[in-house]
Amino acid sequence: MTAKELTTHTTPTPATREDFASVVALVVDGLTSEHSRRAYRRTLEDFLTWWDAEGRPTLSKAIVQRYKRRLQDANLAPSTINQRLSAIRKLAREAADNGLIPPHLAAGIERVSGVRSGGVRTGNWLSREQAEDLLNTPDASTLKGLRDRAILTVLLGGGLRRAEAARLTFEHVQQRDGRWALVDIMGKRNKVRTVPIPSWAKVAIDAWAKAAGIREGLIFRSVRKGGRVNGESMTPQAIYSLVREHAGGLDVAAHDLRRTFAKLAYKGGSALDQIQLSLGHASIQTTERYLGVEQDLTDAPCDRLGLRLAS
């Protein structure tokens, strides 16, 4: 075998963009959360687009570190950068498993460090007055307005994720211990929980259901421009859009209403463990970070001990 033949024999054919698109699909299909699947697909498509613009150099640790610097130069939050790096590590792992890159290059990409966070970003939330104004913004004289108002009540009154609200059925709405609750709803990682809701949320759901003429199956459905229910389910993106629509000039997204639920409940005296159960958080520490609980030096725990030192 000549040197030319040996080179041809040992050098693998470069992977195409289509090859990596297939690997992206493998990465996304391995995730259980629909939200994570959307985020990972968008992240990896952005990365591959950047990679194309760079001339598609060998996918390696050095290239991923260059991309990481680009994200930092764009002043993205550390949590956002770390999420994107996590997706790229999974891409490299799948690419190596499918023979698109050598295992040692994938191992190098795995060693690209994340970005250290200088603190926890607590995000946005509404004041009680702002939340109340938002609840009453939809036009309750229209079918769409009744539906939108009912959706806002379960986001603000129950702390639901938008995907959970989109999947909500009439069978979930039941009475427990003399009050209304959303029973056995499925959240992230297929965790099941029961969420109490205020009476005004049940009133809003009933008003929408009566006007729409529906009593079973999915609660929230698409409304045609002519004001007719077409029977199709709402998507999480549609719920995101309607929150932005009714928020007006407020910089608030659907997930901020979940955070507002937690903030207002905590300020109202609700126990952290009960907020944790409603939100479906895995630990009380997650709920504390979510609330952005701050140390109070003016009314500290030591002031509540009731102890005195004898003079």
Query: Cβ(110)–Cβ(93) under 8 Å?
Result: yes
Report the phi/psi class of residue 292: left, alpha or beta, with left for phi > 0 and alpha for psi in -120 to 50.
left
The model's confidence at residue 8, banded by pLDDT at 50, 70 and 90, is very low
SS3 for the chain is CCHHHHHHHHCCCCCCHHHHHHHHHHHHHCCCCHHHHHHHHHHHHHHHHHHHHCCCCCCCHHHHHHHHHHHHHCCCCHHHHHHHHHHHHHHHHHHHHCCCCCHHHHHHHHCCCCCCCCCCCCCCCCCHHHHHHHHCCCCCCCHHHHHHHHHHHHHHHHCCCHHHHHCCEHHHEEEECCEEEEEEEECHHHCEEEEECCHHHHHHHHHHHHHHCCCCCECCEEECCCCCEEEEECCHHHHHHHHHHHHCCCCCCHHHHHHHHHHHHHHCCCCHHHHHHHHCCCCHHHHHHHHCCCCCCCCCHHHHCCCCCCC
261/274 Cα distance (integer angstroms)? 12
Tokens encoding 148: 């939108």
Cα angle 176, 179, 181 (rounded to 5 degrees) comes to 65
Mean pLDDT over 33-46 rounds to 86
Mean pLDDT over 37-58 rounds to 91
pLDDT score at 120:
45
Give the closest residue to 197 by CA, choosing from 232, 152, 131.
152
To the nearest 10 degrees (0 to 180), the angle between helices 34-53 and 78-97 is 80
299/301 Cα distance (integer angstroms)? 7
Mean pLDDT over 99-118 rounds to 88
Mean pLDDT over 8-26 rounds to 70
Residue 250: pLDDT above 50?
A: yes
pLDDT score at 244:
92
Chain CA centroid to CA 94, Å:
24
Mean pLDDT over 238-262 rounds to 90
Q: pLDDT tens, 83-106? A: 899 999 999 999 999 999 999 999
pTM flag (> 0.85): no
290/74 Cα distance (integer angstroms)? 25
pLDDT score at 306:
67
Query: Cβ(145)–Cβ(134) under 8 Å?
Result: no
Q: What is the mean pLDDT of the chain?
A: 85
Q: Find the farthest-apart pair of alpha carbons in the chain and give their distance in angstroms, rounded.
A: 98
pLDDT score at 108:
93
Distance set, CA 276 to CA 122, 183, 192 (Å):
16, 16, 13
Q: Which domains does the chain have, with CATH numbers?
A: 13-110 (1.10.150.130), 128-291 (1.10.443.10)
Q: pLDDT tens, 206-243? A: 999 999 999 999 999 999 887 888 877 899 999 999 99
Q: Which amino acid is at 114?
A: G
Of 61-65, 205-209, 270-274, least confident by mean pLDDT is: 270-274
Please provide residue 183's backbone torsions phi and psi, each rounded to the nearest 5 degrees: -95, 130
Please provide residue 221's backbone torsions phi and psi, each rounded to the nearest 5 degrees: -135, 165
